[in-house]
Amino acid sequence: MAKAIAGPEIERLIQLLARLPGLGPRSARRAALYLIKKREQVMAPLTSALQIALEKIEVCKTCGNIDTQNPCTVCTDPRRDMSVLVVVADVADLWALERAHAINAPYHVLGGTLSPLDGVGPQDLAIDGLISRAHAANVTEVILALNATVDGQTTAHYITDLLHSADVKVTRLAHGVPVGGELDYLDEGTLSAAIRQRTLF
Ligand code: ZN
């Protein structure tokens, strides 16, 4: 076993930081040392921000987003185009689309994708809520912003079938050349999807 180089409180801090995505043991140690050095400027405000988040964060009962108000900030934003519903697998995807200012519409977070191999079925996802929201009179388009993976596309097909009874246009994200992408580096699947989904110049 590795020799402890600090007291148990600091070792515990490092262990917890090492659980964060993107942080391994080395960077966790570096982050811990940084926090300790910047106790007043960083550690104290971070501690209180974490405490407040712990007390106040809820899952939005409308869309499944995570926020400190319920319904969430996105759902209660009056400037959103309420005729469109953007379906995402995860809150991380919602936040990614928001960061990119990709679309100004409300969302629906499924909480994952269908995955028979991992035992994730329709009952494990927020699909019923989506179908009833898609039936609302004002909704005219449902955008399936799901991963271009087998599970993502299986989920997209499953939802599309269920939405036949709703009076909505069902669309999905384009598959193709990434912005700044070089054709020579793309895999065959992406290249052939890009050719199939070519658009008028
Ligand atoms: Zn919401």
Tell me if 156 is assigned to some domain.
yes
- Give the count of domains, the chain: 1
> Distance between CA 59 and CA 16 in Å, rounded?
24
Asked if 21 and 28 touch (Cβ cutoff 8 Å), the reply is no
**Is residue 30 in a domain?**
no
Query: How much is the pLDDT for 5?
Result: 73
pLDDT tens column, 19-54: 999 998 899 999 999 999 999 999 999 999 999 999
Contacts of 175 (CB under 8 A, 6+ apart): 148, 190, 193, 194, 197
Name the phi and psi angles at 84, rounded to 5. -115, 145
Q: Could you read off the pLDDT of 96-114 as tens digits, one per residue? A: 999 999 999 999 999 999 9
Ligand 1 centre from 136 Cα, in Å?
16
Residue 197 covered by a domain: no
CA atoms of 155 and 76, how far apart (whole Å):
27
End-to-end CA distance of the chain: 63
Residues of the domain holding 131? 79-172
The answer to the question of residue 191 being in a domain is no
Ligand 1 midpoint to CA 177 (Å):
31
One digit per residue, the tens of pLDDT, for the chain of length 201 reads 567 677 899 999 999 999 999 998 899 999 999 999 999 999 999 999 999 999 999 999 999 999 999 999 999 999 999 999 999 999 999 999 999 999 999 999 999 999 988 999 999 999 999 999 999 989 999 999 999 999 999 999 999 999 998 999 999 999 889 889 899 999 998 999 899 989 898
Let me know if residue 6 belongs to a domain.
no
Using an 8 Å Cβ cutoff, are 90 and 106 in contact?
no
Distance between Cα 65 and ligand 1 center (Å): 5
Is there a domain that residue 117 lies in?
yes
The CATH number given to whatever domain includes residue 118 is 3.40.1360.10
Distance 146 CA to ligand 1 centre (A): 18
User: In angstroms, what is the span from residue 10 Cα to ligand 1's centroid?
Assistant: 38
Q: How far is the CA of 66 from the centre of ligand 1 (A)?
A: 8
DSSP-assigned letter for residue 120: B
Whether 181 is covered by a domain: the verdict is: no
pLDDT at 1: 55
| Distance (Å, whole) CA 48 – CA 140 | 43
Residue 21 lies in a domain: no
* 113 CA distance to ligand 1 middle (Å): 19
